[in-house]
Amino acid sequence: MDPESHWQNIYAEKSTNSVSWFCAHDTPSLAILDTLQLKCTDPIIDIGGGASTFVDDLQQRGFRDITVLDISATALDAARARLGPQSGTIKWVVGNVLDIDLPKRHYRLWRDRAVFHFLIEAKDRAAYLDQLKGSLVAGGDIIIATFASDGPERCSGLPVVRYDADDLHRELGKDFALMTSRKILHKTPAGNDQWFTYCHFRLSGGAHDERSV
């Protein structure tokens, strides 16, 4: 089954608050976000945002240039329905991050909670990084979360690649500075424990791309 059909089926068969990755608020991502001192007009893209509430929290913080990208139109429809009239200010994009046309050197923040770890082929990870480097401004920030090295080996019937912070840094390469990292325990709606690695990276070339201490 192709990726689009797979994720369309997942969201058609399950409610958005029963999928294993559901959380009422992505607190670790928000904690990193709140350290970045972004302007409300800075462009932000949520990769694989689907029906996540991260977009709600961005709006509540006053951000006005938000793009949510997901391969599942059903997931994005669920988020739009939840937000109601407020959804009209969001750019909703259906597509695969590996090959969709993204604006060049545009986004100030790229957030990805649990897309990258599904890229088990090296060519797909390379395509992802090309998109990331091409669409992020110099000095732009990345919040990325994957299953930790002792996290699940599969999710939603698909194999994943597990990472610790050093693994992720090696994958992203020398153009990215690792600013912070944390290992986070996620409790699924079914009550299962899943360990995640959360990292904040910064793309070199900007005025504030020095490594934090």
Q: Range of 162's domain?
A: 3-7+23-203
Structural domain includes residue 39: yes
Q: Residue 19: its pLDDT value, please?
A: 80
DSSP H or E segment with residue 79: helix 73-83
Structural domain includes residue 16: no
Q: Which strands, in side-by-side order, build the sheet including 193-203?
A: 91-94, 66-70, 44-47, 107-113, 136-147, 193-203, 176-187
DSSP H or E segment with residue 123: helix 122-135
Structural domain includes residue 161: yes
198's tokens: 């959360």
∠ CA 14-69-37, nearest 5°, is 115
pTM for the full predicted model:
0.91
Structural domain includes residue 17: no
d(CA 107, CA 129): 14
Structural domain includes residue 212: no
Tally of domains within the chain: 1
DSSP string, 18-51: TSTT--SS-HHHHHHHTTS---TTS-EEEET-TT
Q: Residue 40: its pLDDT value, please?
A: 98
CATH of residue 89's domain is 3.40.50.150
Identify any residues that bridge with 93 across adjacent strands, giving them in sequence order: 69
Structural domain includes residue 179: yes
Structural domain includes residue 13: no
d(CA 166, CA 3): 28
d(CA 92, CA 44): 12
Per-residue pLDDT of the chain (213 residues; tens, 9 = 90+): 688 888 888 877 877 777 877 798 999 999 999 999 999 999 999 999 999 999 999 999 999 999 999 999 999 999 999 999 999 999 999 999 999 999 999 999 999 998 999 999 999 999 999 999 999 999 999 999 999 999 999 998 899 999 999 999 999 999 999 999 999 999 998 899 999 999 999 999 854 444 332
Structural domain includes residue 114: yes
